[in-house]
Amino acid sequence: MRNSPACAMFGIQTPIFAFSHCRDVVVEASKAGGLGVLGTAHFTPEELRRELDWIDAHIDGRPYGLDILMPTTYARVDTASLDTGQLLPEEHRRFMAKLLEDNDIPPLPEGMAEDIRRATLRRMTVSPEQHEEVLDIAFEHPFTLLAAALGRPNDSVVKRARERGIRIGSLVGSPEHAKRQRDAGADLIIAQGTEAGGHTGTIATMVLTPQIVDLVAPVPVLAAGGIATGRQMAAAMALGAAGVWCGSVWLCTAQSDAPPEVKRKILAARSQDAVISRCYSGKPSRVLKSGWTDAWTAAGAPDPLMMPLQSLLTKEAMARVTRANAEALASYPAGQVIGQMQNETTVRQIFYDMLAEFAEAVDRLNHLGS
């Protein structure tokens, strides 16, 4: 697999790209021979600097990437204001309060709610102007891949990345998106099928991957969505992918920082328990089904707000749910592969298992063709 153009592009041993918001997962994945990719959407600029400093100190010089949300449509927000009453509709605030009250979720300790609102506003880096501080911090560190989700980097960001030898990757959910990213000069396209956790489209990985491979050649393509085993990896590469992008499979590893109640629910879940909802961020996102997602689809529920207002509405409530260990309401971005995840494991063990099963699958196919 070292002959994969994805391996050659980043100097890695195996074309497994491990997306996670957890720095420990990123480091372990890169040390295992793949490329760890840190999702930055959960961090303030100050938190991101700490995370990247820690990664640099522990990754032993291995390459890693960053994934930054760059949506093409979003609500403009005055991040200097802490008055959520001016930003959020009264109907939505009443709905959120009633949901928590009906489930006996206690309030946060004094001062914590304001801290969460302040941090959430600092994390609302969805516009080009808001990206500047995050990118200034990111470019202080030796990452090798800048992956853009929900949109594309502007020309200024691309120029800064190119000057540092950083490759540009783009997550896409349709051939139309892939064509735009190819024409914009992306070095790597991540074809993300609807099975994937988090923000995703409507086309399945098995259908989407070969379409995009043919459309953007010779630009390398990673397949994403529904990939957690060596057999699934072999299938993706048989479709023409140069590697795979995996996210949900790391959620129940020892390195993952997913809350314990979320891990328990994932290990007990079926594939159909990963549902598409806008209740998490305001954009269509595949998340773990729970009382939280059910409430947002119930009669009388308001429509979720545009990104990033939905996050501002829900972050404090989610913190209260987590603090109360309210498992019935616990939700998390997760893909349909959760239905095949049975036990807690480690990042390194997943790499070993995927590569061993990949080799077996390829050998089986070779025998079928002989």
Q: What is the CATH number of the domain that holds 65?
A: 3.20.20.70
Contact 71, 307 (CB under 8 A): yes
114 in any annotated domain: no
21 in any annotated domain: yes
328 in any annotated domain: no
User: How many structural domains comprise the chain?
Assistant: 1
323 in any annotated domain: no
What's the confidence (pLDDT) of residue 4? 93
What is the pTM (predicted TM-score) of this model? 0.92
The answer, yes or no, to whether the previous bond of 308 is cis (omega within 30 of 0) is yes
What's the confidence (pLDDT) of residue 149? 82
168 in any annotated domain: yes
Cα 359 to Cα 240, 354, 363: the distances in Å are: 17, 9, 6
User: Reduced to 3 states, what is the DSSP secondary structure of residue 170?
Assistant: strand
186 in any annotated domain: yes
For the chain, the residue count is 370
User: Reduced to 3 states, what is the DSSP secondary structure of residue 235?
Assistant: helix
83 in any annotated domain: no
In our burial notation (b when 16+ CB lie closer than 10 A, e otherwise), range 227-260 reads bbbbbbbbbbbebbbbbbbbbbbbbbbebbebbe
> What is the C-alpha separation between 65 and 144, in angstroms, rounded?
6
Contact 354, 235 (CB under 8 A): no
Contact 274, 286 (CB under 8 A): yes
pLDDT along the chain (370 residues), means of 10: 88 97 98 97 87 98 92 63 69 94 92 80 64 86 92 82 95 95 93 95 97 97 97 97 98 94 94 95 93 94 90 88 90 95 96 97 87
The side-by-side arrangement of strands in the sheet containing 198-199 is: 198-199, 285-288, 274-277
What's the confidence (pLDDT) of residue 126? 59
What's the confidence (pLDDT) of residue 1? 67
306 in any annotated domain: no
What's the confidence (pLDDT) of residue 83? 56
- Tokens 């729970």 locate to 290
Q: Residue 59: give the domain boundaries.
A: 5-76+124-257+341-368
